[in-house]
Structures are given as structure tokens and as C-alpha cells.
Structure 1
Amino acid sequence: MTPGTQRGYAKGRAKRNEILDQAMTLFGEAGYRGASLRVIATRCGISHPGLLHHFPTKEALLLAVLQRRDDVDDEWLALGVTRGVDHLRRLVDLAELNAKRRGIVELFSVVAAEATAPDHPAHAYFEARYRTSVANTERAYLQAREAGELRDDVDPSAAAQQL
């Protein structure tokens, strides 16, 4: 690869990240349906077709924003690979971290509410994310029970759904 190619690649990745940041902010402010690709493009200093080069549809952009957030959280959770009660404590730590990340929390709150509609582009994403989160949390409760760290009257399945 030539140095020019490397710079172009890095520049493209930087622009993609900027688009994701601006989209996260606007989706959090206006919701998915209220956000405009043209506004996101303008905030990034590029044309609408320039944005479409990186993300061919608004749905693709939304899903990339959501996936990016999951990737960041998954990396953070993996730093302290845990089981049982330690995993549950790590989830509390993640909630404390999220309290400091206003934009992504706003995004998730607004888009998750919108995505309850079956025709919303993130509906399937949130359904799958909920199932995975509940399954992982239930597994942590079961591990805690096996280790003798969970009261007998706690139902791991119910507790996971409530958390």
C-alpha cells in the first residue's frame, strides 16, 4: 500500500466515525424517524451522496450506530471476563459508565421506544439484543446459584428479565 492509500483509508475511517457520532447525536435528539440523512451529512461537512457512500440507507446507518455501541460495550465487558455475581457487578459498573455517556443513552432510550413498532428498522435488532441480554444475565444468575452466592428464593429467569 502506498502512503497515499493509507491516508485515504484512515481518512475514510475517520469520516465514517464522524458520521456515526453525528448520527448517534441526532438519533438521540430527534429519534430515528425525526432524523434526516441530509442534516447528518451537513453536520459532517459532506454532501448527502457523500454520506450515502459510507451508509447506503438510513437504516444501515442506524444499525451501524447501534452495532458500534454494542461493540464498545462488549469490549468493555470483556476486559474483566467474569461469571456469576462478578458478571452481575460488572453490569452495574456498565450502568454507571452509561450514566456518563448521555448521547448513547438518549439514542437507546428514544430508538428503543420507537422500535417497539414492528415496522421499525431496529425492531429485530432490539428483540435480538433483549433475548441475548436476558440469556447472558440468566446464565450469570445460574452461575451465582451454583457457587452458593444467590439466595434460593431468587428465580434466575425472572431476575434476568427484571434486570
Structure 2
Amino acid sequence: MARRGPYAKGLSRRREILRTALEVIVRTGYSSASVRELAERVGLSQAGLLHHFGTKEELFVEVLRARDEVDAGLAEVGEAGPGEEEAGSDEGEAGGAPAGRQEDIGVDRFLNIIRRNAVVPGLVHLYVRLQAEAADSSHVAAEYFRQRQQRVRQGLVQAISAEQRQGRMPADLDPEAVARTLMALADGAQAQWLHDPAVDMAGLVAGYVEQLRQQA
């Protein structure tokens, strides 16, 4: 049944804010994305904008969730540039459910997401900063990162196991260890890239994957 009335209007407004926040961060970077600018872009006061999310930090966590949904959607329909992306959909609240399905996280798909990140430094900065802050279990982003890491790890374990069955990776590899290594490489490469844009994030991770495949 379609949602109607104030609730549906609230969901639509929330999606609009997330789309706008995602656009602003892509365009100007995380550090320059102020609540004041976001509020002005969607025709709200700062208090009105935060009414939908609670705090600026909670808003940015939802931006990351929305970006995860964009990545999951692009993985299903094909590649698209940053200008073609849209956070959320009319079928539900952007960020209201875990982004993507475990089986959507293939090894090559994982690499493609890292490649796309190279054109959105503001989002990478936001991700790396909140990930570090979320090491404190009381941080608003802690549960998001716990769930995300579990979801991505499980998806990669499934993908690596599938490659082993297909003879594309050595059968004696521990899929769990390989998945954790891929995630650590990706996170480390992103942190290095923020300091030195010459770092090839996807290339570092892809090189490891290729080494494994050559051993099969």
C-alpha cells in the first residue's frame, strides 16, 4: 500500500535532503558542506533540516547509507558517472535499510566501487573521518560501520568462495582472511589517497586480486 499524507511527505523531504547533501559533498567536499548551505538548498531553516535527522553527524551517516544504495543500484544496472547518481528511491526511505544485498558484492564489483570513489574525494573524506570516529562505540556512526563491515565482508566471502568453485582463485585460500585483507587494503588505500591523490586506490587492491587469480 502506498504511503500517503504527512508520513509520505516527510519521507519525500528526507530523500530530497539526502540527494542534496550527496550532491553538495560531491561538488564542494565534506569539510565545506555546512548545515546552513544544505538547509538553504532545500528551502529549510537549519533547525528544520535537523528535525529530519537529529544532528549533523546523523545526517552524514545517512548520506553514507544513501551512497551505499547508489553503489548497490549501479552494480545492478551498470556503471554511471557521479552526475547520474541519485540517493534513495521512491520505493522506500533512503538509508532506511541495509544498502545492497550480500550477493551483490562481487570482487570485481568491489573494485569498481573503489574506482568510482576516485572522482568523489569529498565522500571518501567523509567515510574515512567517520570511520575513525566510529571506533568509539558510543559514536552515532558506530552501528552503521559495524553493520556495513559485516555485510561487505560476508558478501566478499561469498564472492571469493564462488571464484574458488569456478577455479579462478586457489582452493586452499581462506575466504574470510582474503575478504578482510581486501577490505583493509581498500581502507588503507583510501586514507593514503587523501594525502596523495597520485595513489592508485583501485590499482593497489586489483593488484592483490590479480596475484591471487594467477595462483589458481
Is the shorter-chain TM-score for this pair beyond 0.5, marking a shared fold? yes
1:36-91 deviation per Cα after TM superposition (whole angstroms, max 9, x unaligned): xxx412454242222134333335413321211111111112225xxx9x921121
* Counterparts of residues 34-113 of structure 1 (less than 5 Å): 39-42=34-37, 44-45=39-40, 46-79=44-77, 87-113=106-132
Q: What's the RMSD between the two structures over aligned residues?
A: 3.1
Separation in structure 1 between the aligned mates of residue 25 and residue 51 of structure 2, nearest angstrom: 15
- Ranked by relative contact order (alpha carbons within 8 Å, sequence separation 6 or more), the top structure is 1
Residue 127 of structure 1 aligns with an amino acid whose one-letter code is R
Separation in structure 2 between the aligned mates of residue 159 and residue 124 of structure 1, nearest angstrom: 24
Offset at residue 124 of structure 1 (A): 0.9
Distance 1:70-1:16 versus aligned 2 partners, 3 A rule: closer
Separation in structure 2 between the aligned mates of residue 152 and residue 96 of structure 1, nearest angstrom: 28
Any idea what SS the aligned residue of 1:63 has? helix
Residue 4 of structure 1 is matched in structure 2 by none
Greater C-alpha radius of gyration: 1
Of 102, 116, 123, 2:135 maps to: 116
1:24 touches 1:65 (CA, 8 Å); kept in 2? no
The answer to whether 1:18 aligns with 2:20 is yes
Separation in structure 2 between the aligned mates of residue 133 and residue 16 of structure 1, nearest angstrom: 22
Paired residue total? 144
Offset at residue 19 of structure 1 (A): 4.1
Q: TM-score w.r.t. structure 2 length?
A: 0.56
Higher helix content, 1 or 2: 1
Q: Which runs of 5+ in 1 are unaligned?
A: 1-7
Separation in structure 2 between the aligned mates of residue 120 and residue 24 of structure 1, nearest angstrom: 24
Distance 1:127-1:63 versus aligned 2 partners, 3 A rule: same
Q: Which runs of 5+ in 2 are unaligned?
A: 1-8, 79-102, 183-216
Residue 159 of structure 1 is matched in structure 2 by 178
Q: Which runs of 4+ in 1 moved over 6 A?
A: 23-27
